[in-house]
Amino acid sequence: MLLPEELKKNPEIEVPVPGIRGWKVGGPQGLVVFFEISPGTVLPEHSHCYQWGYVIEGEIELTIGGERRLYGKGDSYVVPEGVSHSAVIEKGCLAMDYFSDPHIYLGI
């Protein structure tokens, strides 16, 4: 599962988790990141600003505020500001996420 090369012309973010790559598109009000997530990736529990996401391909198992759910192609999810969440991506995933803080990833 790979994102189109045209999207990868945008700046790549630094993600401190092996298996996750992302390309950002942003403005002063927020940030959209297109993610490629490799099979077998585990995202440890963390929290930050408001996040809305959409699964483009594959699956992602998210635990948001203690509730675990599997999201597949076409599903969207919301992580409220400050709520702890984690993820397990067994089969790989392409996702698009909006973050309310345009500076959530360094280099903006």
- pLDDT class of 2 with cuts at 50, 70, 90: confident
Residue 2 domain flag: no
* pLDDT at position 108 over 50: no
Residue 76 domain flag: yes
Domain range enclosing 43:
7-99
* pLDDT at position 92 over 70: yes
pLDDT single digits (tens) 29-56: 999 999 999 999 999 999 999 999 999 9
pLDDT for residue 27: 86
Q: What is the CATH number of the domain that holds 73?
A: 2.60.120.10
Residue 107 domain flag: no
Task: Provide CB contacts within 8 A for 84, sequence distance 6+.
Answer: 45, 46, 47, 65, 66
* Residue 106 to residues 24, 58, 79, Cα–Cα distance (Å): 11, 27, 20
% of the chain residues with pLDDT over 70: 97
Residue among 26, 24, 17, 30 at smallest CA distance from 3: 24
Residue 71 domain flag: yes
pLDDT single digits (tens) 63-82: 999 999 999 999 999 999 99
Residue 104 domain flag: no
pLDDT for residue 105: 81
* Number of domains making up the chain: 1
> Is the Cα torsion angle 54, 40, 79, 17 positive or negative in sign?
negative
* pLDDT at position 106 over 70: no
Residue 17 domain flag: yes
Residue with the bigger pLDDT between 16 and 39: it is: 39
Residue 45 domain flag: yes
